[in-house]
Amino acid sequence: MVAEHIGADLPQLVDRMAEEMGWTALTLRFRGCGKSDGNFSLRGWVDDARAGIEYLASVEGCDQIWVVGFGTGGAVGLSAAVERIADGEPEGLARIAGAALIGTPADFDDWAQEPERLLAHARHAGAVTDVDFPADPDLWRAELASVRASSAAENFGDNAMLVLHGFDDEAVPQLDARMVADAHGDADLRLISGAGHQLRHDPRSMAILLGWLERRRNS
């Protein structure tokens, strides 16, 4: 995957959500991706997601925030949401209401075991462009082990959660989806038969996602 293309098709999805559901919708291009400045780091991506959450919370008429993330984006988005809850959601601003994780890994322990290989891949993909990055390699590596969707799900409280995964996902085993759902304790786990990792291109998964959000809004 080339960093320039990561998240490039998500504006189409948020436009659809805004038009069909009447929601205010925001998508991010994480640092190192597309035209966003900076270099890839998991902690940096969590900070980016948190900034997006805080921006939505400031939008007039927005009283609930629903975090939706694909792959790694699901893990960092959920982690950012849990951090905001733990910090104490400001009075009068939108609160976190739920999250949908699509094709999301339970952890990044495999990356943490081979950080040099991941860094080389990130450079090749264009997500890391500064030759002296990271300034602290040990800290950058530690971030890979600290961001865990399974731990974040456990701390998500009674907020609603959808865990959506392809039954034949070639990149993230379906066991990861089960781990995240089990950690939450009350997640709606959906496994799509015959589906792989790129679920945002699968009309079945998008129908499930939009239907779940619509039902949760009206519940």
- How do the pLDDT tens digits run along the chain, 219 residues long? 677 878 888 888 889 888 888 899 999 999 999 989 999 999 999 999 999 999 999 999 899 999 999 999 999 999 999 999 999 998 888 999 999 999 999 999 999 999 999 999 999 999 999 999 999 999 999 999 999 999 999 999 999 999 999 999 999 999 999 999 999 999 999 999 999 998 988 999 999 999 999 998 766
CA pair distance 105, 118, nearest whole angstrom: 16
Question: Phi/psi at 23 (nearest 5 deg)?
Answer: -95, 155
pTM (2 d.p.): 0.94
**HSE-CB for 55 with a 13 A CA cutoff:** 12
Hey, is 102 helix, strand or coil?
strand
Mark out the alpha helices in the chain (DSSP H runs).
10-21, 42-57, 72-87, 109-113, 115-125, 137-146, 149-154, 174-184, 203-218
pLDDT of residue 218: 67
pLDDT of residue 3: 74
From the DSSP assignment, how many helices (H) and strands (E) are in the chain? 9, 4
pLDDT of residue 2: 75
Neighbouring-strand partners of residue 69: 101
CA pair distance 79, 81, nearest whole angstrom: 5
Would you list the domain boundaries of the chain?
3-218
What topology does CATH give the domain 3-218? Rossmann fold (3.40.50)
